[in-house]
Amino acid sequence: MPRFAANLTFLFTERPFLDRFAAARAAGFDAVEALFPYDHPAQDVRDRLDAASLRLVLINTPAPDWADGGRGCAAIPGQEGRFRREFAQAVDYAEVLGAGLLHIMSGLASGPEARECYLRNLEWAAAQVPDQRLTIEPINPIDMPGYFLNDFVQAEAILYELGAPNLYLQFDAYHAHRIIGNVGTAWQRYGQRAAHIQIAGYPGRHEPTGGEIDYPAFFARLDAEGYGGDVSAEYFPAGDTAEGLDWFSKAKG
């Protein structure tokens, strides 16, 4: 059985953010992730993790302009200074929270200048924190138009070109299905570079059950291949979060 985590930006939103940690533990999770914990002091989040005996798997670099359409800035030429400031904030939070992975968001950009900017920022970031594992994630252009990193071929080429030992692929099965059309094919081609997996059903991005993605088969494949990372539930619950966790109970056996 894979090690499952709950994304607290998506799940248990019936409660305030800091109350979601206890809810995740009560539902049977022993690990969580959060996209942007920056609205709360890092120590307050750490206290909730400790109280619930939870590991924090991953956080994103900040996107303080998210509500206005911002999606990070690592690939946006001219915003290198902002990137470095926000990366430093993310590293501070990751250290306090014990975050195993830090996802660097590329932002909305395109073209060769954006690619060069992204490469240099990733190279700089990886060198700053050699003991912190970093990830990049292809996000499909239908759900997030204009996002720079929108293809697995592109991500693989960047990882190969940089060759940073602490930089990995973040494999979101939902996005992989939308980009490539088959999760199994995507995993076979790119999974060896993945340090983290996220899941959601398709269509709808709800619970990972039914629909076009055969998650029981995918989980069995991960077990057979000895995948050692976490599999995070990053979906929009169709109803109450806890009532939609039958898939989790079945996956745990």
Two structure tokens written together for 115: 């690619």
- 3-252 falls under which CATH superfamily? Divalent-metal-dependent TIM barrel enzymes (3.20.20.150)
Can you tell me the distance from the alpha carbon of 40 to that of 176, in angstroms, rounded to the nearest whole number?
Answer: 31
Residue 253: what pLDDT? Answer: 73
What are the Cα distances from residue 113, in Å, to 5, 116, 125, 205, 221? 36, 5, 18, 33, 39
* Active site members: 137, 234
Tally the C-alpha atoms within 13 A of residue 89's C-alpha that lie toward its C-beta.
17
3-state helix, strand, coil in the chain (%, to 5): 45, 15, 40
Can you tell me the distance from the alpha carbon of 67 to that of 65, in angstroms, rounded to the nearest whole number?
Answer: 6
Two structure tokens written together for 176: 């992989």
Can you tell me the distance from the alpha carbon of 134 to that of 104, in angstroms, rounded to the nearest whole number?
Answer: 7
Residue 252: what pLDDT? Answer: 84
Q: Please tell me the pTM assigned to this model.
A: 0.97
Q: What angle do CA 212, 11, 244 make, to 5 degrees?
A: 55
- Per-residue model confidence as pLDDT tens digits over 136-152: 999 999 999 999 999 99
Tally the C-alpha atoms within 13 A of residue 44's C-alpha that lie toward its C-beta.
9
Two structure tokens written together for 53: 């005996």
Tally the C-alpha atoms within 13 A of residue 160's C-alpha that lie toward its C-beta.
8
Q: What is the pLDDT along the chain (253 residues), one digit of tens a residue?
A: 899 999 999 999 999 999 999 999 999 999 999 999 999 999 999 999 999 999 999 999 999 999 999 999 999 999 999 999 999 999 999 999 999 999 999 999 999 999 999 999 999 999 999 999 999 999 999 999 999 999 999 999 999 999 999 999 999 999 999 999 999 999 999 999 999 999 999 999 999 999 999 999 999 999 999 999 999 999 999 999 999 999 999 998 7
- Per-residue model confidence as pLDDT tens digits over 150-197: 999 999 999 999 999 999 999 999 999 999 999 999 999 999 999 999
Domain boundaries, the chain: 3-252
Two structure tokens written together for 159: 């990882």
